[in-house]
Amino acid sequence: MSAAPKSEGLPLIERRKAGDPRPISFTQRRLWYLDQLTPGTGVYNVPYVMRITGPLNVEALQKSVDMIVGRHEGLRSVFLAPGGNPTAVPLKKWSVELKQFDLRSQPDKETQAAESVDREAARPFNLARDLMLRAALIRLAEDEWLLVHVSHHIASEFGSTEIMYKELSPLYEGFCAGKPATLPEPPIQYADFALWQNRYLQGEKLKQLTAYWKQQLSGAAQINLPNDKPRPAVSTLRGTRYPCRLTREQLKAIIDLSKASHTTPFRGTLAAFYAFLHCWSGQDDISIGSPVAPRSHPGMLGVIGFFVNTLVLRGDLSGEPTFHELMKRVDKVVKGAIENAELTFDKLVEALRPPREAGRMPLFQVNFRILKAPVPALQLAGLQITPPKFVDTKTAKFDLALELEADTGQGGFFEYSTDLFQESTIAEMAEDFPRILSALIAEPGVPISRIKAVREIRKRVGEKRGMRR
């Protein structure tokens, strides 16, 4: 997301006192309930893999990771539900699973290594039993390894991975030297934040936030994309990714146009995505989900945990807007969402009680995100380590999602439900979005419906819809 909620006026997050309740956060509660509905999937796994070259000290790595889990209570908390009410219970004894595979003597070791990485990345967590972090080392040569680490989203997110790497570096160096590093204690534990959130998000504050979102989303329509397959009664969460790349020239052009329109590149690109979805759905009222990881409170900095919220952004393409006008509308929507981002998605669903449809996410079915920067490379003394790469677990949380890379545009992709779409349809989308983006940039003052690329794509998709009826 382009910005985060401000922290002014937020009450202090204090350490829990002995005897205080231990509720989980609202976002954790949503993931826990989803896990109860569809257990045994890796859809909320967060797996990364990297190649390590050099004399790796496995014992020092094990001790370092164990210490990180000891420092961050959320990684060693299991989720129990006495009476149906989930709570996080920290384990008093733990050892992070660090599997080792030795493939040095195997003729097809790279193939076997890739299979092991995929298997470890997709292996589900048991929230009532497992640590929320595990890892595996795959040895390819005397001084060459693959390291895959997997956390569950209920205890970690993008910012948490960066914190983990920053702590792992001095800890590993210290254990290698026989002098464990001393790191400053985290300002709070995630359980302190969860208790604070449960106490803060109630009463008048909850009423104000709920009022905004009720007004904003009243009467919002569900998007209807031309599915290739009937929607199943229960989603299997099966999915995959298909590349969607932008050129550096397209990135520069949308950045320049957004700035000239007094908005951000995120909001300008989001406006283009609304125009794309308008072509593919034929709808003017389109709601999109987009993640925001605020860490807006100073106490959240330096803490490993799940601080992501999903905002529902409602786009309006009625009245024949130009791209300039659409960007203004989107800018206003995103500003309002950020100012009211403290209402978590599960609380929003609870307040709005939207009609439920089997196999559909409530309030939105399409997700949009821009990765501002990749996770920085892990640095360990005496080793060369490639930048971490996210491992595709062949799952999809939404019908359709578009993730773009802010720096080069080359790492973007559509993530899609294979229950609904064939690859050929997503391949068309991956060609259409960059084409629409360029067309909108070229004619920002022309009504979107009159732009040639938009007319052609709408006609083609309309014919596709007719064929499927």
pLDDT tens string 314-342: 999 999 999 999 999 999 999 999 999 99
Q: Residues 437-453: pLDDT tens digits?
A: 999 999 999 999 999 99
Is the pLDDT at 84 greater than 60, yes or no?
yes
Mean pLDDT of the chain: 92
pLDDT in tens, 15-67: 888 878 889 999 999 999 999 988 888 999 999 999 999 999 999 999 999 99
Instruction: Please state the pTM of the whole predicted model.
Output: 0.92
Q: What domains does the chain contain, in order, with CATH numbers?
A: 26-193 (3.30.559.10), 219-468 (3.30.559.30)
Lowest-pLDDT choice from 4-13, 133-142, 158-167 = 4-13
pLDDT value of position 411 = 84
Residue 277 confidence (pLDDT): 98
Q: When comparing pLDDT for 392 and 12, which is higher?
A: 392
- Which amino acid is present at 448? I
Spatial contact of 392 and 49, defined as CB atoms under 8 Å apart: no
- Give residue-wise pLDDT tens across range 453-465: 999 999 999 887 7
Secondary structure in 3-state letters for the chain = CCCCCCCCCCCCCCCCCCCCCCECCHHHHHHHHHHHHCCCCCCCEEEEEEEEECCCCHHHHHHHHHHHHHHCHHHHEEEECHHHCCEEEECCCCCCCEEEEECCCCCCHHHHHHHHHHHHHHCCCCCCCCCCEEEEEEEEECCEEEEEEEEECCCCCHHHHHHHHHHHHHHHHHHHHCCCCCCCCCCCCHHHHHHHHHHHCCHHHHHHHHHHHHHHHCCCCCCCCCCCCCCCCCCCCEEEEEECCCCHHHHHHHHHHHHHCCCCHHHHHHHHHHHHHHHHHCCCEEEEEEEECCCCCHHHCCCCCCCCEEEEEEEECCCCCEHHHHHHHHHHHHHHHHHCCCCCHHHHHHHHCCCCCCCCCCCCCEEEEEECCCCCCCCCCCCEECCCEECCCCECCCCEEEEEECCCCCCCEEEEECCCCCHHHHHHHHHHHHHHHHHHHHCCCCEHHHCHHHHHHHHHHHHHHHHHC
**Encoding tokens for residue 448?**
């979107």
pLDDT at position 2 is: 40
Convert the pLDDT of each residue in 207-254 to its tens digit: 999 999 999 999 998 999 999 999 998 888 999 999 999 999 999 999
pLDDT category of residue 184 using cuts at 50, 70 and 90: very high
Q: What was the pLDDT predicted at 294?
A: 66
Q: What pLDDT, in 10s, does the model give residues 256-314? A: 999 999 999 999 999 999 999 999 999 999 999 999 876 766 777 889 999 999 999 99
Supply the angle between the helices 248-260 and 423-442 in degrees, to the nearest 10.
50
- Residue 467 has a pLDDT of 59
Is residue 78 pLDDT above 60, yes or no?
Answer: yes
pLDDT of residue 271: 98
